[in-house]
Structure 1
Amino acid sequence: MRSWMNTNAAPQRIGLLLFDDFSMHCLANTVEPFRAANTLSGRELYVWSFLSLDGQSVTSSSGLEVRVHGALTDAGGDVLFILPSYRFRDHATNHTARALRSATRRFPTLAGLDTGSWLMAAAGLLDGYRATIHWEELGAFSETFPELEATRARHVIDRDRITCGGALAAFDLVLELIENRHGAALRLEVATLFMSPQATGPQAAPTARSRSVARAIALMQENLEAPLRLPDLARRIGRPLRDLEKRMQTEVGAPPQTVYRRLRLIEARKIILETELAISEVALRTGYEDPSALTRAFRQEFGVTPRQLRSGKDAPI
């Protein structure tokens, strides 16, 4: 499977509409995965701009002032992320509603982060849609806006409307958007970048929801040079192999052998780009018997050989 789809596509243009008292945690969990996708792919897959309703600076809930790139009325793109966070009821004015309705003519997709779905609903932009919000507001959200189907979920993608509840959910959402546009391998590579090598719970693997899958991925990362047999991997996390296969397919979107291969090839790619080690040495460090085996797997995954990648020839980055 190729790591990235739409390799010739234009960068996706993203607007981030911020309001006073927005959550920096939520904003970082949205922007940083996009930034990482650009860095890891070596291409500008995503471009973004920070916006406010009037083009004036906004201040986060922690007191950090952000100078935006412009006003919403002057902006357009592919997706508009809406982030009000803590004072969302104060921001749910007629002026905001008009601005958001007008924005739908310039942004085909709208995404409400944290409590952003409240502003979307107040503008009538979620009527007939499934949607979610920060879990603390879900009851009031459902009662206030009966025209939508309020759902308890980390995030909901319903046609041209996206909603999610909270900062951690925003990270999960962006990983899914990256995978939908550029493939599971890039999603895994982005998620791997944010993993803590000391963590053993679900936080060890941002793609995983369960402790067992997170631990399995952590063990894979710890054993890239001498890959574990999958039955041994399952035994070390205390799960039957079939159970691990089912869980990993559900949570990560690929079976264990595919995930393990991608982690090894991601490490090989990193070594190739960052060092001058011989390809034979790279193969040994990532669990391949010889350079030919690495080259075949590498070409299948990335569409380019290790030597082509190092020389910059015909590389998809």
Structure 2
Amino acid sequence: MNKNKNDFEHLNSDSRALWDFEAQDFPLPDGGGMGRLQRFDFNNVLRLYRSEFRVQRDCVIDTSAGESELPNLLCSVLLLSGEMLLETPDGKQYKITPQSGIVYRVRDNGTRFLMKGGQTLRHIGVAGKISGLHKQLGETLPGALACFSSFPESGVVSRKVPVNTRLRRLLAYVFSPGACASDPLQEIALEGVSMSILAEMARTILAGDTECEERASLWGEQIFDNLTAYIRCNLDAPLKAEDLCQRFGIPRRQLSQLFLVSAQCTPREFLRRERLERARELIEQESVPVKLVAAAVGYSHVSNFSKAYRDYFGETPGHTLRMSAINTTTDE
């Protein structure tokens, strides 16, 4: 269980300049910023990527892998912060956000990351051999996972994955200070977390089969849109489920089911996510002091806000603020 030093993956600029990712820090293409990437191999069947991109200008990164190994990998892209587009070799693009990741399998090289400037992306990727999935789940993969067993004519198979609370906790752990320490025991822990991430994504894909999709069409999308718009406009208020039910005239059970079907989370989890995502925007884009940010998103105690923020993003709000100041200085 060691970090692999072969040439499995390289990221190239549009001028095809080869990068050495064994270095801790590296420049993004065309003066786009700086990045850091670590890769861990576990028992030759599971792989973890942990990377951070401090993107100052729009940037395109190409990925490449060994032609014999690539078709046998089930890959994923997940984000703790930032947004980007994943473009697969068939030309299709998928928006990746902290709320929505992707699991995919490609036959050929040509996958690209398209990143907008002015943001910090924290990326986690878990890749496993498709044979390992068959070994655990059987020769015929169950339910919605069956599509990954073979390639269509396009040579690309993909499924979007909503990031639920359990998956979010696992992703945050990957970037926690303890997990980032150089410690063989932490590598053992990261192996377990990587397996849990892969299992949670598979479970989410299976749970997202046709039943929930059919039920979602029966719910009032307008009610849900009104609910979420109201929440986003009142993040500083002490919002409670009972108050939402009374305002929109729906019972508690219907409120819970509406969020479960439409957002794959509970109302409480949705509120927490929106508050913390808004907090990061205020810190990164406007450099608002942490105490003011906490109040602006409904936290009366800075300590509670800091803990929630660290649990969600894997870093403290103070760290985000310091990085924002550094990036602003660099831009100038």
Q: Point out the structure with max Rg over C-alpha.
A: 1
Q: Do both share a fold (TM > 0.5)?
A: no
TM-score normalized with structure 2 length: 0.40
TM-score normalized with structure 1 length: 0.42
Higher strand share: 2
Higher helix share: 1
